[in-house]
A = this chain, B = another copy of it.
Amino acid sequence: MQYTNAIPEKKPHILVCNDDGIDAEGLHVLAASMKKIGTVTVVAPSEPRSGMGHALTLGVPLRVKEYARNNRFFGYTVSGTPVDCIKVALSHILTEPPDILVSGINYGSNTATNTLYSGTIGAALEGGIQHLPAIAFSLTTYENADFTYAGKFARKLVRKVLREGLPSDTILSVNIPNIPESDIRGVAVTSQGKSRWAENTIERDDMYGNPYYWLSGKLELLDNEMLYDEYAIRQNYIAVTPVSIDMTNHDALNNIRQWKLKR
């Protein structure tokens, strides 16, 4: 198995991004946690950009701004998607590649098919494409979020990844239950679950009587063993899923070759 990174001898340089935007609490907790072990650069969307997946911005110029918090420089905003943030950070903001990229901590779990929709994971995958070890962190709640333990676990896992490296073309997606540390039962290394959104797109009429639609739905649980991320988090485990940049279904190649397709 190949590895993407060497163990840095020096204090690591850690690039921090997210998809909830520069103001999100999860980003601040993650940045603060990373500052305890390395030099941190924050580059995050200027606005919340959830559900952006691996989207990038084409045909629209991007703006980069310095962002202060409590009158102190905190990081940079990019007027685009999480993937845009990584592209601009690596090409224009940083003078050399960071040792590792961390993304999050996201409000809400990124398990199962959310792996495809998630901008938090999108940012990490873009890091992977650009040969960085990268980890996406998500807290499994939208409400009453307490990022304290998630920030602590993130630091522990970053240290581990800096030591061990990651398989090439692979990032980690980490989902952390929003429960007290003492209630967490352990860490499960999982696959992307089979659970899907049961669509429930809402139709309403505007002031002119014309309909509009809101995407909505509910995650339908289709996972019933610890192999899967969505099941593991519901059992109060942290779920660590290795996510590949290569989306090929390799098992299907021979099957489709037997079709003997001709031009």
Stretch at the interface among A6-14, A34-42, A237-245: A237-245
**Interface positions of A from 189 to 238, Cβ below 8 Å from B:** 189, 191-192, 194, 196, 199-201, 203-204, 210-215, 238
A246 to B62, CA, bound (A): 32
Contact A116 B54 (CB under 8 A): yes
Whether a CB of chain B sits under 8 angstroms from the CB of A63 is yes
- Give A125 Cβ to nearest chain B Cβ, in Å: 6
Residue count of chain A within 8 Å CB distance of chain B: 85
Are A252 and B242 neighbours in the complex by a CB distance under 8 Å?
A: yes
- A residues sitting closer than 8 Å to B (CB atoms) are 1, 48, 50-59, 61-64, 81, 83-84, 87-88, 90-92, 113, 115-117, 119, 122, 125, 129-130, 153, 157, 160, 164, 166-167, 169-170, 172, 181, 184-187, 189, 191-192, 194, 196, 199-201, 203-204, 210-215, 238, 240-253, 255-257, 259, 261-263
CB-defined contacts of A117 to chain B, threshold 8 Å: 54-56, 83
Among B53, B87, B213, B256, contact of A242 (Cβ-Cβ < 8 Å): B256
A262 touches which one: B1, B90, B119, B187 (CB < 8 A)? Answer: B187
On chain B, the residues within 8 Å of A211 by CB distance are 64
Contacts of A125 in B (CB 8 A): 116
Which listed residue (B83, B157, B191) contacts A246, Cβ 8 A?
B191
User: Are B63 and A212 interface neighbours, CB within 8 A?
Assistant: yes
Contact A215 B87 (CB under 8 A): yes
